[in-house]
Amino acid sequence: MLRHYLNQVFLFSLVFALNACGAREEAPKSLFTLLDPAKTHVLFSNDLSETEAFNIVEYLNYYNGAGVAAGDINNDGLIDLYFAANQLSNRLFINKGNLKFRDITESAGVACPGDWKTGVSMADVNGDGLLDIYVSQVGDYKTVQGENHLYINNGDETFTDRAKEFGLQFKGFSTQSLFFDYDNDGDLDMFLLNHAVHTRASYGQAAIVRYSRDLHMGDRLFEQVNKDGQPYFVNVTERSGIFSSRIGYGLGVAAGDINNDGFIDLYISNDFHENDYLYFNNGDGTFTEKIRMAIGHTSKSSMGNDMADFNNDGLLDIFSLDMLPEDETILKKSAGEELMEVFDMKEDLGYFYQLTRNCLQLNRGNGVFSEIALFSGVYATDWSWAPLFFDADNDGYKDLFVTNGIPNRPNDLDYLQFIEDHTDAINTLGEGRISNATLIEIMPSQPLANYAYKNNKDLTFTNLAAEWGLDKKGYSNGFVYADLDNDGDLDLVINNVNDNCSIYRNNAEMLTKNNFLKVRLKGNQGNLFGIGARVELFTTGQLQVQQLMPARGSMSSVDPVLNFGLGNVNTVDSLVVVWPGGKKQSLTEIKANTTVEVRNVDAKTPEKAKISNSPGLLFTDVTDSIQGHFTHTEYSFSDFVTQPLLPHKLSAQGPKMAVGDVNGDGLDDVYLCGGAGQAGALFVQIKDGDFVNVPQKSFESQSEGEEIDAELFDADGDGDLDLYIARGSTEFEAGSTLLQDLFYENDGRGNFKLLRTSNPPPAVYSSCVSVADFDQDGDQDIFVGGRPTLKNYGQSGQCQLLVNDGSGVFTDKANAMGSSFQYPGMVTDGLWVDIDTDGRPELAVVGEWMGIKIFEYENGKMDDIAERMGLAQHDGWWNTISAGDIDHDGDIDLVVGNLGQNAKITATPMQPAKLYVKDFDANGKTDPIISFYKNGESIPFATRDDIIAQIPSLKNKFPTYESYAGVRAVEEIFTPAQLADAKLHKAYEFRTCIINNIDGTTLQLVPLSKEAQLFPVFSILIHDFDHDGYDDLMLGGNLYRANITYGRYDAGYGLLLKSKGQMNFAPQTLAESGLQVRGEVRDMELVKTPGKALIFISKSASKWQVLKEN
């Protein structure tokens, strides 16, 4: 009997197991699986029906789509979904478990009337512990009618619209609502993001139109108050400092405490010409907009955005989307950057710097951001709508997902050309009119895949959409992440246009061994879900931060439960929660793969921290305490009119400085080079360490030219310091006397007289000066680097070697040293330094599209020994060079500043950037054709408009943008015969590097850390700033006057790299160092004083800055 029973049990078990195996889905192969809507029962599609009266032609936001909200509306522990539909009914789906849903829209009463719904948020508006729903709409526009709705949750899976009762029945052009406690009074207030439409009143001086309010347009801020015992929202927009104008084209709002002062700040993405807004919360019920003070540039057509700490440094970063295509064909056919004249005109009208690309604003602390989307690899995701940071694979770092696609592309350049060519037929009301339906039909259309970027944990991302199963093509808009099946990883829900919504199950729990922790917050009565709370999670060697703010991305709202990926960590060391208002609590030793509930009632108000004088800071800004002041001026000269394909201006290179004791009093003095039309300035140090400007008539008489570099040295052996000034700038025609360098003799008391000789110096474009006794005859000789003329970019500039006869009379002997020395390239800097430790200086020279050259003087010639010493295939866009014994091994090492890697153009030894130089159309100027590798092909960088502006005859070869968009090589633009005699430069390295000198025989290129690659470096100061016996590095740079197709390089705020010995450097944050240097730094000089040393910093077209060592 027992055996029979066991056999029966075994047989039953076997059959059950086999049946279970047959029923179980195959093991997932990708991180995400697209679920079948027939199985989830989530049948929703945001279908659009264009009419002649209302369409993309009449309403530019027609394809912006709509949002989705996730949240547990019935408190059953399962996350429910609410979808907004532009023209159809909104839908509410209850989660029944196992990724099955039920549509309860009609019974719940949330179908939502109105012609055009947009954004949706879930929040507990009335403080009863139930999530309510707020729907934004467009109303009173053309044929569209509607108003915003607030659906209050009744607790029985039904809702009642009480928007009017709560003061939130807004009618206008709404995009999204965001509920948050802006004044830390314990209840939820609401920011309403609205978008404008173009009218005649939309243009003009920013200071005027930005303050013109409108009934339907302009953002709103509503404060929650108590009215007759229930919540009521009062419009406090005007008194709060929030802009609410007819040019606020709001498409994204992100909220978070970006400066960690305990109050929620706001970032607003505005489409078109209006600035994005960055509102810092003042903590007194008002905001101050500070985009210009905090950020270098923004996206131009700003779409959705997100705010999160993606690099785990405890600071919230900001990401905003634009419409820059990654695909080369689409890119070359699409409208991109504005004309340079338009860019400059907008600046004159008071608008901020905008570039056509996604912007990733890295929070540097101290209230400033560095835009690094190019470095991070997330700058181009085509016509994008919503970004969200979340940890897709639970490895402890937030990944990035971006929705993408537009059904018809109104920015196609051939389409826009058709519009221009047929303007009369489009605008006429009579016979022959081209209908809107026809205009829409001829718009190009192409479905696109979304982007799924894995965080590489080094400030960069890799798009793994295909590998993760997220590369379905379509037109996706608002989306959310949510743990729909309660398995500890975040699933995705996407609202699509003209297609069923997409629900992707996350398979991380099956494919990885990574752990997680969920955090559920229980706030006070007015904010029961704890919106705005900051949660800090600490594990060994790592910090993660999330701030609960459900409304995010684009028109959407995520579940108010925080999900942290832990990687292989099994126990969280501690969890710190900082509640709105400042109460704080800490939990320790929390097991992974659990949900922890944190209650506000258990938190305590911490004691006020003692005020610190920041004793650890290495520097203090003392600019304003210096008696003398200097602001460099830069004449607005447009190089790009003459040379449309220049990557950056050649007319704005200075100013540099010279330091020395000019009056023999034992104190360092400073000379600063002047711009065109501005005399250089001599600042003499007085005994208390202050500086006074000592005007010199001889300087004033030569103010018309532009000074680039200067050197103080004893030219004539009389014991005082004379002054040599290199002049340049392509705003002056070749041969102009204003290009001649200047030499001033010192009378020993700091008074300078211009020396004129019978043989005037050549009128060439000088770039740098370096002085040394290279021929060992006891006097100081001069090297002067040379740049090309404006019309000959890519050709070598003429260098000079001014040999001193001992009395201060110089003769240029560069020609005798060999052509490779006299014309080495587009030189930017040169430095005499004893590389091989033989007691004689070699000359290190760097430049643009040049290798690093080391010239050794031997047998009357200058021979380049760089390659012999190990420097091969290192050509770059080098800007500056400094020298010092960095590793304390007895020889001199070099540090060379380069373009960096936060750039559109890239370069590696295997995939170099290329520059073809030739006067292809024989018009008297070279045509610089630049290409770089993209997806394995060396693609010409220039747009069709730019290359035709440079070489008009190419319009015949490429009559349309479509015909040019397919070009994948310079060889497809020019014939082999045309290219045969073109000069070809290659750049292999764009990183700023150390050149390690090994025993004076071998030079080794060592790239600096990623932080040093975020901006072009133009100045390097080597000094032991922390007095630990090791030389540290201070880097400065930026390049604002770049061709707009390349964009401004403005991510640098100065960087201090503290030496740890043996060529190891630790980048210091701005908060750690006290270093915060804005602008285009061109020189940094250490100046000794009776007290602490000062660091003088010169900047192009800006006021100098002076720092003091602490």
Burial 822-831, CB ≥16 within 10 A → b, else e: bbbbbbbbbb
DSSP H or E run through 1032 = strand 1032-1037
**pLDDT more than 90, % of the chain:** 92
Contact 790, 701 (CB under 8 A): no
Separation between Cα atoms, residue 686 and residue 845, nearest integer Å: 36
Residues 6+ apart with CB under 8 A from 408: 56, 63, 440, 443, 444, 445
Section 806-826 average pLDDT: 96
Q: Which residues contact 932 (CB under 8 A, 6 or more apart)?
A: 905, 906, 907, 911, 913, 914, 938, 939, 941
CA atoms of 125 and 882, how far apart (whole Å): 60
pLDDT tens figures, 452-489: 999 999 999 999 999 999 999 999 999 999 999 999 99
- DSSP for 248-297 reads --EEEEEEE-TTSSSS-EEEEEE-TTSPPEEEEE-SSS-EEE-HHHH-S-
Residue 1062's pLDDT band (boundaries 50, 70, 90)? confident
Which residue(s) pair with 692 in the sheet?
A: 684
Q: What is the mean pLDDT of residues 839-864?
A: 97
Per-residue pLDDT reduced to its tens digit, 785-797 = 999 999 999 999 9
What is the dihedral angle through the alpha carbons of 248, 331, 931, 959, rounded to the nearest 10 degrees?
-120
Kindly report the backbone phi and psi dihedral angles of residue 20, in degrees, each rounded to the nearest multiple of 5, phi listed first.
-65, -40
Positive or negative torsion for Cα 560, 287, 61, 337: negative
Which one-letter amino acid corresponds to residue 605? T
User: Residue holding tokens 């030739």?
Assistant: 918
Residues belonging to the chain: 1110
| 316-363 pLDDT tens trace | 999 999 999 999 999 999 999 999 999 999 999 999 999 999 999 999
Structure confidence at residue 615 (pLDDT): 55
Mean pLDDT in residue range 562-567? 99
Residue in this structure with the two tokens 């047989």, named with its chain if needed = 11
Sorting pLDDT into bands at 50, 70 and 90, what band is 611? low
Task: Please tell me what DSSP assigns to residue 519.
Answer: E
What is residue 10's predicted lDDT score, i.e. its pLDDT? Answer: 35
* Alpha-carbon span 946 to 640, nearest angstrom: 10
State pLDDT tens for residues 386-396: 999 999 999 99
At 3 the three-state DSSP class reads: helix
For residue 278, the surrounding DSSP H or E stretch is: strand 277-281
Under the banding of pLDDT at 50, 70 and 90, the label for residue 756 is confident
Mean pLDDT calculated for residue range 962-973: 98
pLDDT digits (tens, 9 = 90+) for 1049-1059: 999 999 999 99
For domain 47-409+445-521, the CATH architecture is: 7 Propeller (2.130)
What mean pLDDT comes out for the span 59-87?
A: 99
Mean pLDDT of 1035-1040: 98
Whole-number pLDDT of residue 535: 99
Residue 432's pLDDT band (cuts 50, 70, 90):
confident
Band (pLDDT 50/70/90 cuts) for residue 610 is: low
Say yes or no to pLDDT of 20 above 90.
no
Q: Is 264 helix (H, G, I), strand (E, B) or coil?
A: coil
Q: Are strands 298-299 and 354-355 parallel, antiparallel or unpaired?
A: parallel
Tally of CB atoms within 10 A around 908: 14
Neighbours of 148 (CB within 10 A): 25
Among 1041, 1038, 1036, which Cα is nearest to 1051's?
Answer: 1038
Q: According to the model, what pLDDT value does residue 888 have?
A: 93
Distance between CA atoms of residues 438 and 451, nearest Å: 32
> Tokens at residue 908, please?
């590696």
Q: Which candidate, 724, 853, 726, 711, places its Cα nearest to that of 796?
A: 853
What is the chain's mean pLDDT, rounded? 95
Is 5's pLDDT higher than 70? no
Cα distance between residue 83 and residue 872, in whole Å = 59
Q: Give the pLDDT confidence of 972-1026 residue by residue, as tens digits.
A: 999 999 999 999 999 999 999 999 999 999 999 999 999 999 999 999 999 999 9
State the DSSP string of 1034-1061.
Answer: EEEE-B--B-TTT--B---S-EEEEEEE
What is the average per-residue pLDDT within 1073-1098?
A: 97
Residue of 486, 480, 453 lying closest to 468 (CA atoms)? 453
CB 672 within 8 A of CB 657: yes
For CATH 2.130.10.10, the residue range(s) in the chain are 47-409+445-521
The token pair that represents 884 in the structure block: 């010092």
pLDDT digits (tens, 9 = 90+) for 249-263: 999 999 999 999 999
The answer, yes or no, to whether residue 2 has pLDDT greater than 70, is no
pLDDT at 758: 62
* pLDDT in the model for residue 199: 87
- At 627-654, the pLDDT tens digits run 888 999 998 899 999 999 999 999 999 8
Quote the pLDDT of residue 1021: 99
Alpha-carbon gap, residue 113 to 105, rounded angstroms: 12
pLDDT at 188 over 90: yes
Q: What sign does the dihedral 879-883-889-890 (CA atoms) show?
A: positive
pLDDT at 614 over 70: no
Q: Which pLDDT does position 609 carry in this prediction?
A: 59
Strand partners, 510: none
Secondary element (H or E) of residue 427: helix 423-427
Query: Quick check: 1072 and 602 in contact, CB under 8 A?
Result: no
Q: Sorting pLDDT into bands at 50, 70 and 90, what band is 6? A: very low
According to the model, what pLDDT value does residue 757 have? 72
Question: Which positions ≥6 away from 619 have C-beta within 8 Å?
Answer: 1025, 1073, 1074, 1075, 1095, 1107, 1108, 1109, 1110
- Return the pLDDT at 27: 83
* Cα(49)–Cα(531) distance, integer angstroms: 37
Decide if pLDDT at 613 tops 70: no
* Average pLDDT for 530-546: 97
Count Cβ atoms within 10 A of the Cβ of residue 36 and give its class: 0-12 exposed, 13-18 middle, 19 or more buried.
Answer: exposed
